[in-house]
Amino acid sequence: MDFTVGRMAYDDPLGYIASGLFDGARFSQYTKIGTFSIGAWYTGLLYKERAKIEMTENEYTAYKAAIDWNDFSNTYYAPRRFLAAVDWAYKGFLDNAIAQLSMLSQFDLSEEKLHSQYLVGKTIIPVETKVSNGAFSADLGGSFELIEANNKIGSAFAVEAAPAWRNNFHYVSLAIKYASGASDGLAAFLPLTTNAQGQIWKPKLSGITMFSIDYTARLYETLSVGFYPAYYILNGSGSNGRNGGEIFAAAYWSPSPEIGLNLGAGASFGNVSPDEKASWRVALNVVLSLFLQITRRRKKYEKDCVDVCFDNGGYKRIRAERSGKGINWHGGTENRWLLGVCRGESR
């Protein structure tokens, strides 16, 4: 059982409906039939560029506007919305497959009153294979949305499929995503947060069909390269047949866990966004991580808190007591962990 209050990260099963940091509370309970969670959050205290909420034209305009120190509260903070979610996750059906199901509701606290509810599902199915010591998996997911705006209720949906193959040196995935656009009898799919797709065009997953490839190869122990082409087709009555694509490649060098260097470049073609033309992009990122490790002398009887993995996909923090006769686990009546470890021992 977990209970968290404050600013926390949350992601829906698809990762693009409500994703990022939110202020609120969340309760989780681990059971034999999966992990159940319920949470409620408020977005009005977040920085607008971190929240990335652009559900209406006014919110999009406010997101692009510069911060005005004479009107700080209206130009710095994200739109005021309330989000509630009920989540369920289970690992174990079809051998090691993972199932996730969520119900989300967001309520607009401004005068525009654009509300929406989502039923979201996703499953990850691993497939055993002996091809080059690799493993196949298939991600299948989708969402049905109800939208209430201007005293009218509309419906929209989004689906995705992403088969993938990986081994110790290569990873390749083909992803297909579809989000409905505004048309007769159907509304444009509107996520709460804007999770930009791709590397250059970065369109919002609304009224669009996306085909993308993710290929990463590890050339040496410290050097990897990636190749990420994508193609977009706009959906709905207002798309006007716009489409386009992009090609992006990157190199990743990490001589140690504390230092990383990423260099990428790519170009786009076509006409995906009416506000932007085809362009190119070069990106350079340097990552420096600092770790502080404190060691102490172990006593004859030592008590540590450790995370134990359950076979239903959940985790639980319990107390481990080490003595000369071995390790005793104190986790209450729950006995469904796979293996517990003290620090320094393998699972």
Q: What is the pLDDT of residue 331?
A: 40
Identify the helix (H) or strand (E) that includes residue 64.
helix 57-64
pLDDT at 290: 62
269 SS3 class:
strand
pLDDT of residue 116: 95
Average pLDDT over residues 15-24: 93
pLDDT band at 303 (very low <50, low <70, confident <90, very high): very low
Residue 230 in this model has a pLDDT that exceeds 90: yes
3-class secondary-structure state, position 70: helix
Tokens 């971190």 locate to: 50
CA distance 320 to 305: 6
DSSP 3-state percent helix, strand, coil across the chain (nearest 5): 5, 55, 40
Please report which confidence band the pLDDT of residue 152 belongs to, taking 50, 70 and 90 as the band edges: confident
d(CA 136, CA 131): 9
Residues whose CB is less than 8 angstroms from the CB of residue 13 and which lie 6 or more positions away in sequence, other chains included: 87, 100, 101, 102, 120, 121, 122, 141
pLDDT in tens, 247-279: 999 999 988 877 888 889 999 888 776 666 667
Predicted confidence band of residue 280 (pLDDT cuts 50, 70, 90): confident
pTM for this entry: 0.76
- Average pLDDT in the 228-248 region? 85
| Token couple for 48 | 């607008």
What's the whole-number average pLDDT of the chain?
Answer: 81
pLDDT tens-digit readout, 155-198: 999 999 999 998 888 999 999 999 998 887 789 999 999 888 88
Go through 235-264 and write b for each residue having 16 or more CB atoms within 10 A of its CB, e for each that does not: bbeebeeeebbbbbebebeeeeeeebbbeb
Q: How far apart are CA 98 and CA 130, in angstroms?
A: 21
Residue range 75-104, pLDDT digits in tens: 899 999 999 999 999 987 777 889 999 999
DSSP 80-117: -EEEEEEEEEEE-TTTT-EEEEEEEEEEE-SSS--EEE
| Residue 46 scores a pLDDT above 80 | yes
What are the angstrom distances between the C-alpha of 92 and each of 139, 163, 195?
15, 20, 30
